[in-house]
């Protein structure tokens, strides 16, 4: 069966043996009037397919600018960015949009769900924009919602879901096009401790079972420790790039957090509001 995520669009194949992401001497300079702001100052970094990498750094370190370039939301001022072995540094705005739709999934801190739309409809939205038929959209959206633990919640609206469940819908939406790379920008920033571990369990499972390459921006070191590798930015440069020793495993940590169902309590608060 044709993959509905790539409805009528030919995806350029990966170059065998190439990293999923490779940037060389990446610079990004913004002009604010007569002032030039050097957000990135020569980043060189490679991420292999199937890696889970945490990007850390203080505000203004360049990590968000870096993620915008990796997500093909912007172009570098100088340097090269190869995605699956293909140089995408200078592609057109239209081609960047095509690359985002086919290869990259995004998860943000603020969920960005449509409030008057069900979980199913939120998850299927990228397929709707791509012109995929209703039956295929529903089948695929139901599948990804099951994958993030929301079977039975398909018809719930965001106001009927806890914060953790809303983030699961956002992850499902990011998975709908079968991306090879998932970019997550502070995905646990609005969540409590237990729910944050639940989201990390989803990421680790997707990374392991689907070999999904994940880049996670976070300012919390305990969240970064769920990744394979931690890259710290400072002043637009890579300050440190090290493997994570004694990596945290969410599936082992969750049973130690007690039986309190935080999300159920949040749901009761929503229903009583």
Q: How many whole angstroms from its chain centre is CA 184? A: 3
Q: How big is the chain, counted in residues? A: 273
Q: How confident is the model at residue 12 (pLDDT cuts 50, 70, 90)?
A: low
pTM for the predicted model, two decimal places: 0.87
pLDDT of residue 33: 87
Mean pLDDT score of the chain: 89
Lowest average pLDDT, out of 74-78, 120-124, 207-211, 256-260, goes to: 256-260
Rounded to whole angstroms, the Cα distance separating 171 from 122 reads 11
Identify which of 17-21, 37-41, 110-114 has the greatest average pLDDT. 37-41
Q: What share of the chain is helix, strand, coil (3-state, %, to 5)?
A: 40, 25, 40
Q: Where are the domains of the chain?
A: 50-67+93-272
pLDDT at 189 over 60: yes
Percent of the chain with pLDDT over 70: 88
The more confidently predicted of residues 49 and 18 is 49
C-beta separation of 24 from 80 below 8 A: yes
3-class secondary-structure state, position 242:
strand
The structural architecture, per CATH, of the domain 50-67+93-272 is 3-Layer(aba) Sandwich (3.40)
pLDDT at 5 over 50: no
* Neighbouring residues of 149: CB distance < 8 A, sequence distance ≥ 6: 168, 202
Give me the mean pLDDT over the 133-152 stretch.
95
First to last CA, the chain: 45
């Amino acid at each position: 069966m044709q993959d509905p995520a790539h409805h009528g669009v030919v995806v350029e194949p990966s170059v065998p043996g190439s990293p999923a992401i490779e940037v060389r001497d990446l610079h990004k300079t913004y002009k604010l009037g007569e002032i030039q702001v050097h957000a990135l100052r020569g980043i060189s970094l490679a991420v292999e397919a199937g890696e889970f990498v945490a990007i850390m750094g203080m505000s203004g370190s360049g990590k968000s600018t870096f993620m915008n370039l990796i997500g093909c939301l912007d172009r570098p001022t100088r340097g090269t960015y190869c995605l699956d072995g293909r140089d995408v540094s200078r592609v057109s705005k239209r081609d960047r949009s095509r690359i985002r739709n086919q290869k990259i999934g995004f998860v943000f801190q603020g969920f960005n769900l449509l409030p008057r739309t069900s979980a199913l409809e939120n998850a299927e939205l990228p397929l709707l924009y791509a012109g995929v038929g209703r039956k295929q959209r529903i089948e695929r959206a139901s599948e990804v919602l099951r994958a993030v633990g929301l079977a039975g919640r398909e018809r719930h609206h965001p106001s009927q879901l806890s914060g953790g469940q809303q983030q699961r819908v956002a992850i499902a939406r990011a998975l709908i096009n079968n991306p090879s790379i998932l970019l997550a920008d502070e995905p646990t920033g609005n969540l409590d401790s237990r729910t944050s571990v639940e989201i990390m369990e989803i990421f680790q499972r997707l990374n392991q079972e689907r070999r999904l390459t994940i880049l996670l921006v976070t300012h919390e070191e305990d969240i970064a420790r769920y990744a394979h590798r931690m890259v710290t930015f400072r002043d637009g440069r890579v300050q440190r790039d090290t493997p994570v020793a004694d990596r945290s495993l969410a599936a082992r940590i969750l049973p130690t957090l007690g039986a309190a169902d935080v999300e159920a309590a949040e749901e009761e608060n929503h229903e009583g509001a």
